[in-house]
Amino acid sequence: MSTRGNIEEIFDSVQGEGPLLGCRQIFVRLGGCNLACFYCDTPQARRPAATCRVETIAGTGRCDFIPNTMSVEDVTGVLGRLRITGHHSVAITGGEPLMQPDFLRELLPALKAEGYTNYLETNGTFPDELAGVIEHVDYVCADIKIPSCTGEPERFEVNLEFLKACDVANLFIKIVVTEEVEMDEVMQAAEVVNASGRRATIVIQPVVGRRGEIGVGGALLLDIQRRALEAHPDVRVIPRIHQVLRLA
Ligand code: SF4
């Protein structure tokens, strides 16, 4: 019997963060997370979901609910119905998708076999699990969490191991910041990226409120970027746009 996954939702939208901002994607959000960030915008996905919300026609928001868990064939069947001409990729997100490594080891190659590009969004804390699937991933967007902004303990060593395992052509590092940010922690995060030896774009992403208001002042964002650029050559400030566009 094939492995089954706990999926919170599957829907069509645009990528609202990072260098691929605005690209059309299908999102597969897996249920369950090992962290509890202060600013979490998907608290419902921090635990496994009883049912999966599945959009039925791309871009309409109309949906069905399917009992969990789901097989790889269940997921690819939904994706086939949502697929439109010009989709950039399938965003595997969460929660934390790498908490279900056995399922990803079956799902990701199945998606590649059907011609999809795989984009993995992860909190960057499961290096061994990443190593088991990285050959099937085209893009990785990995967080480095800043303790002063998340309320979580620092995990820079595990972040470094994660990035070393991140043998992928397209690597984005997301650092979410709030007004409480400690600059030293941002600099440590930039040093982690450098120490990994990976060519990566660092994205400084200010927290955004429910109505799309940016939660960090412009002067502070410029200062963070200026300091981070002293440690790493490619650092961009890009806010999240889902709330602005009123998208999922
Ligand atoms: S890692 Fe992501 S899903 Fe998990 S608590 Fe933090 S923001 Fe939420």
Q: Is residue 81 part of a domain?
A: yes
Assess whether the C-beta atom of 5 lies below 6 angstroms from ligand 1: no
> 207 lies in which domain range?
4-241
Mutational test site, ligand 1, from 9, 17, 37, 150, max ligand atoms within 8 Å of CB: 37
Residue 63, C-beta contacts closer than 8 angstroms, at least 6 positions apart: 11, 53, 54, 55, 56
- Per-residue pLDDT band for 238 (boundaries 50, 70, 90) equals very high
Is the torsion defined by CA of 104, 108, 110, 111 positive or negative? positive
Q: By alpha-carbon position, which residue is closest to atom 5 of ligand 1?
A: 36
CA of 73 to the centre of ligand 1 (A): 27
- Per-residue pLDDT band for 248 (boundaries 50, 70, 90) equals low
CA of 135 to the centre of ligand 1 (A): 24
Count of domains observed in the chain: 1
**Cα separation of the two ends of the chain:** 33
C-alpha closest to that of 142 among 80, 92, 185? 92
Q: By alpha-carbon position, which residue is closest to atom 3 of ligand 1?
A: 95
Share of the chain above pLDDT 90, in %: 93
Asked if residues 27 and 118 have their Cβ atoms less than 8 Å apart, the reply is no
Asked whether the predicted pLDDT for residue 44 surpasses 70, the reply is yes
CATH code assigned at 147: 3.20.20.70
Asked whether the predicted pLDDT for residue 3 surpasses 60, the reply is yes
The sheet carrying 51-55 orders its strands as 63-67, 51-55, 7-14, 24-30, 89-93, 118-122, 139-143, 170-177, 201-206, 235-237
Q: Is residue 246 part of a domain?
A: no
Assess whether the C-beta atom of 29 lies below 6 angstroms from ligand 1: no
Asked if residues 139 and 117 have their Cβ atoms less than 8 Å apart, the reply is yes
Assess whether the C-beta atom of 33 lies below 6 angstroms from ligand 1: yes
Q: Is residue 189 part of a domain?
A: yes
Q: Is residue 87 part of a domain?
A: yes
What pLDDT is attached to residue 247? Answer: 75
Instruction: For 116-125, write each residue's pLDDT tens digit.
Output: 999 999 999 9
Q: Is residue 248 part of a domain?
A: no
Kindly compute the dihedral angle of the four CA atoms of residues 159, 161, 163, 168, in this order, to the nearest 10 degrees.
-150
Assess whether the C-beta atom of 34 lies below 6 angstroms from ligand 1: no
In sequence order, what are the beta bridge partners of 205?
A: 176
Q: Is residue 73 part of a domain?
A: yes
The average pLDDT across 205-212 equals: 88
Q: By alpha-carbon position, which residue is closest to atom 8 of ligand 1?
A: 40
Assess whether the C-beta atom of 123 lies below 6 angstroms from ligand 1: yes
Which residue pairs, CB below 8 angstroms and at least 24 apart, start in 150-156? 150/35, 150/37, 150/38, 150/39, 150/176, 151/36, 151/37, 151/38, 152/35, 152/36, 152/37, 154/185, 154/188, 155/124, 155/125, 156/188, 156/189, 156/192
Asked whether the predicted pLDDT for residue 246 surpasses 60, the reply is yes
Mutational test site, ligand 1, from 46, 120, 122, 155, max ligand atoms within 8 Å of CB: 46
pTM score: 0.96
Assess whether the C-beta atom of 46 lies below 6 angstroms from ligand 1: yes
Q: Is residue 247 part of a domain?
A: no
Atom of ligand 1 minimally distant from the CA of 43: 8
Q: Is residue 153 part of a domain?
A: yes
Residue 171 is encoded by which pair of tokens? 């690597």
- For 208, which DSSP code? B
Asked if residues 93 and 85 have their Cβ atoms less than 8 Å apart, the reply is no
Atom of ligand 1 minimally distant from the CA of 34: 4
pLDDT top residue among 53 and 2: 53
Q: By alpha-carbon position, which residue is closest to atom 6 of ligand 1?
A: 37
